[in-house]
Chain A
Amino acid sequence: DTAVSQTPKYLVTQMGNDKSIKCEQNLGHDTMYWYKQDSKKFLKIMFSYNNKELIINETVPNRFSPKSPDKAHLNLHINSLELGDSAVYFCASSQDPHEKLFFGSGTQLSVL
């Protein structure tokens, strides 16, 4: 069983569309994250949730909205997609902020 799973793996869409990326972890972890890896391969934190509460919200446009229906899920909804949103998005989880992170395999988003 995959510990942290993201869907879809690939997402190709047009500018202006709204899309969602789903993330689920079956590790029983309390903390979940979204990271973005751009074309230059830099990985940056976007959001961090602990027990469904938003802890970190980095400088991310309001078009990005994380939603945590329960501790095992942290979905990422993106409104009005732009060309610059093209990147690989990684979901991750950890038991608590001091423990190691487990990452999903990523969602490659291409905005045309």
Chain B
Amino acid sequence: DAKTTQPNSMESNEEEPVHLPCNHSTISGTDYIHWYRQLPSQGPEYVIHGLTSNVNNRMASLAIAEDRKSSTLILHRATLRDAAVYYCILRPYSGAGSYQLTFGKGTKLSVIP
């Protein structure tokens, strides 16, 4: 299984941008890059996903390196509600692997008021 590497923890001040990095040097051509987050005592929540191009949605932006070996999740203005564990996940487009998300340890984001 393709693996991802993320920092264990990060801190951000409230209302400042946050850049959460993820390395995935063994990514294959059919792997999508997914980001989920898990707020305390809740189930994981989808944030964003992409293949090659940068992506934006109402929650965040995803910047993907040209060689696809790394990506960065960008929260434009961190709020206290964004404090969570953020997971970067590679998900194959097809095959049995597409039926599951393989979660790593993720990055625990703390937001300082």
List residues of chain A with CB under 8 Å of any chain B CB.
Answer: 4, 31, 33, 41-45, 48, 50, 55-56, 90, 92, 97-98, 100-106
Contacts and interface: CB of A to CB of B under 8 A. Distances in A.
Interface of B: 32, 34, 36, 38, 41-46, 49, 85, 87, 93, 96, 98-103, 105
Main secondary structure of the interface of A (DSSP, over half): strand
Contacts of A48: 99-100
B46 A56 contact: no
Main secondary structure of the interface of B (DSSP, over half): mixed
Contact of B102 (A45, A90, A92, A101): A45
A106 B100 contact: no
- Closest A-B pairs by Cβ, 6 of them: A103-B43, A100-B46, A43-B103, A45-B100, A97-B98, A48-B99
Nearest to A46: B100
